[in-house]
Amino acid sequence: MSQLERVTRDGITPEISRPDAAKVVAGDPVHTTWNIEDADRLYCGLWQSTPGKWRTSYTEWEYVYIHSGHSILTDTAGVETHLKAGDSYIIRPGFAGTWEVVETTLKDYVIRS
């Protein structure tokens, strides 16, 4: 394995999933994940979701970079954060609220659990 790897979907078989039905608030979001790194509590790849809204609760640390689309993270106090192309954020453990995909969203992710 090379010490340098490009983050791309090319040549990776994606995993298709949906949020747990009990957490879905609206729509029927479909998640497509291209996992590139999965080692020693570190996960990296690309994730895409179609429109929908679901409840979420983070126990891990995640860095995201939004390539395309529009999503809204809303915390339990009702504070909305809009994520759009070019945005990057850190989501820290303890974040709870909803993730709403307004327009199909593609992001890079790095998760440390």
* CATH code, domain carrying 104: 2.60.120.10
pLDDT band at 2 (very low <50, low <70, confident <90, very high): confident
pLDDT tens figures, 35-78: 999 988 999 999 999 999 999 999 999 999 999 999 999 999 99
Give the C-alpha distances (Å, rounded to integers) separating 52 from 23, 43, 89, 104, 113. 11, 24, 20, 9, 25
pTM more than 0.85: yes
- Angle in degrees, CA 75, 34, 107, rounded to 5: 40
Residue 4 maps to a domain: no
Token pair 């029927």 is found at 28
DSSP state for residue 25 in the 8-state scheme: E
Domain count, the chain: 1
The boundaries of the domain holding residue 100 are 15-112
Question: pLDDT tens, 13-41?
Answer: 999 999 999 999 999 999 999 999 998 89
Query: Which of 37, 38, 34, 42 minimizes the C-alpha distance to 8?
Result: 34
